[in-house]
């Protein structure tokens, strides 16, 4: 039986619970330590996910003291570059939460460190693993829909809720608030279906939430290298949560509803001219297993069972670059 991959996890914020639980659910993995500046938070995460592991306050002390094969980085965006490079220099393989970094240049520095130290690294872009998007991919592959003509993606979320981490409300620490935090999510899932690199891009970021200086909403517009246009909208105010993506093909429209809001139930819908309406399609995967699917693919790559990262550093860097291009337009 192969030796387990010895992981340490950095950060005990909100995302550490689903990420950590999905990581330790992989049979190849042993989680040996968690670090967090507030030790009690790391202890709580360990208890919540059922991890019997050491707790550290200092991530650097943790990677110096423990015999590790890999790390999971769940830290705030502004820490990603330096922590990633330090871990890469120690020869540790890396799974890192999105966004890869706050700036495209930081992403390039991380890519260089990974290449120079010959490590394996992949990025947590969870949205593509959602059951609805996986069902949409399968539907596209098994139906003759013709060329993809347009993509539209819309999220409405109460971004400024009381539990939002303070670093996410700082432009300097978060890289631009909702524009980077949610923007790379939406860009990733749009490109997951687009299968084209963006050759034209424009964006408008609106700062309209009283008392805050970070963007509160955005609109992005792009064109893929094959000429397919897309639009992305995200608004961060109060109101029913909305999360949906539409794919317009020659032979019909796929509507992906991630979050039911009263207009639609969560699910996948297909409509064409003949039917004149959207009809619900089967979604076979468990709706709450997207993190597990993500980490199954990531760990398979880290273990050397696959030579292609599920989400490469280069891909994740391009998502950051597009958000950055939008800021340059402001």
Longest dimension (CA), the chain: 65
Average pLDDT over every residue of 261-282: 92
With cut-offs at 50, 70 and 90, classify the pLDDT of residue 149: very high
Domain 131-286 homologous superfamily, CATH = Dihydrodipicolinate Reductase; domain 2 (3.30.360.10)
Residue 146: its pLDDT value, please? 98
Residue 284: its pLDDT value, please? 86
Residue 260: its pLDDT value, please? 84
Sequence ranges of the domains in the chain:
5-126+291-311, 131-286
User: For the chain, what is the radius of gyration of the CA atoms?
Assistant: 20
Residue with tokens 């968690």: 34
Q: What DSSP string describes 222-253?
A: EEETTS-EEEEEEE-SSS--EEEEEEEETTEE
Given phi > 0 = left and psi -120 to 50 = alpha, else beta, which region is 252?
left
Average pLDDT over every residue of 17-22: 98
The second-level CATH assignment, the architecture, of 5-126+291-311 is: 3-Layer(aba) Sandwich (3.40)
For the ranges 47-51, 167-171, 245-249, 296-300, the lowest mean pLDDT is seen at: 167-171
Residue 259: its pLDDT value, please? 87
Q: Collect all residues with Cβ–Cβ distance below 8 Å to 208 and sequence separation of at least 6.
A: 216, 217
With cut-offs at 50, 70 and 90, classify the pLDDT of residue 288: confident
pLDDT, averaged across the chain: 96
With cut-offs at 50, 70 and 90, classify the pLDDT of residue 34: very high
d(CA 151, CA 158) in angstroms, rounded, equals 24
Residue 261: its pLDDT value, please? 81
Q: Is the pLDDT of residue 83 over 90?
A: yes
User: How far from each other are the two terminal CA atoms of the chain, in whole angstroms?
Assistant: 56
Average pLDDT over every residue of 167-192: 96
Residue 1: its pLDDT value, please? 64
Burial of 43 by CB count in 10 Å (0-12 exposed, 13-18 middle, 19+ buried)? middle
- Own/partner pairs for 211-214, CB < 8 Å, 24+ apart? 212/160, 212/169, 212/177, 213/171, 214/169, 214/170, 214/171, 214/174, 214/176, 214/177, 214/178, 214/179
Q: Is the pLDDT of residue 113 over 70?
A: yes
**What is the signed CA dihedral for 218, 277, 263, 269, rounded to 10 degrees?**
-70
d(CA 315, CA 325) in angstroms, rounded, equals 16
Q: Which residues pair with 201 in a beta bridge?
A: 222
Residue 298 · residue 292 · CB < 8 Å:
no
d(CA 330, CA 311) in angstroms, rounded, equals 29
Tabulate helix, strand, coil % of the chain (nearest 5): 35, 25, 35
Average pLDDT over every residue of 151-180: 94
Quick: pLDDT tens for 225-266: 999 999 999 999 999 999 999 999 999 999 999 988 888 889
Per the document, the length of the chain is 330
Burial of 206 by CB count in 10 Å (0-12 exposed, 13-18 middle, 19+ buried)? middle
With cut-offs at 50, 70 and 90, classify the pLDDT of residue 46: very high
Residue 217: its pLDDT value, please? 97
Residue 81 · residue 112 · CB < 8 Å:
no
Q: Is the pLDDT of residue 110 over 80?
A: yes
């Amino acid at each position: 039986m192969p030796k387990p991959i010895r992981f340490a996890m950095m950060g005990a914020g909100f995302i550490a619970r689903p990420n950590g639980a999905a990581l330790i659910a992989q049979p190849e993995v042993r989680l040996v330590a968690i670090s967090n500046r507030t030790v009690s938070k790391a202890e709580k995460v360990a208890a919540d996910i059922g991890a019997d592991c050491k707790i550290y306050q200092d991530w650097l002390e943790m990677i110096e003291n423990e015999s590790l094969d890999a790390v999971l980085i769940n830290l705030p965006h502004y820490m990603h570059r330096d922590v990633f490079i330090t871990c890469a220099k120690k020869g540790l393989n890396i799974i890192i939460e999105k966004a890869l970094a706050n700036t495209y240049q930081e992403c390039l520095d991380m890519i260089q460190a990974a290449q120079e130290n010959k490590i394996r690294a992949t990025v947590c872009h969870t949205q593509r693993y959602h059951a609805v998007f996986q069902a949409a991919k399968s539907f596209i592959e098994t139906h003759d829909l013709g060329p993809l003509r347009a993509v539209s993606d819309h999220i409405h979320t109460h971004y400024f809720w009381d539990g939002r981490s303070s670093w996410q409300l700082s432009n300097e620490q978060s890289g631009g608030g909702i524009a980077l935090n949610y923007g790379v999510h939406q860009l990733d899932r749009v490109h997951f279906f687009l299968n084209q690199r963006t050759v034209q891009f424009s964006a408008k970021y609106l700062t309209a939430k009283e008392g805050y200086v970070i963007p509160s909403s955005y609109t992005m517009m792009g064109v893929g290298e094959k000429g397919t246009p897309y639009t992305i909208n995200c608004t961060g105010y109060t109101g029913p949560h909305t999360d949906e993506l539409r794919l317009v093909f020659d032979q019909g429209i796929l509507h992906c509803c991630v979050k039911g809001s009263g207009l639609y139930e969560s699910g996948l819908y297909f409509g064409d001219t003949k039917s004149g309406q959207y009809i619900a399609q089967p979604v076979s995967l468990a709706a709450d297993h997207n993190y597990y699917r993500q980490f199954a693919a990531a760990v398979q790559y880290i273990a050397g069972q696959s030579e292609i990262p599920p989400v490469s550093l280069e891909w994740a860097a391009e998502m950051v670059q597009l958000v950055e291009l939008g800021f340059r337009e402001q």
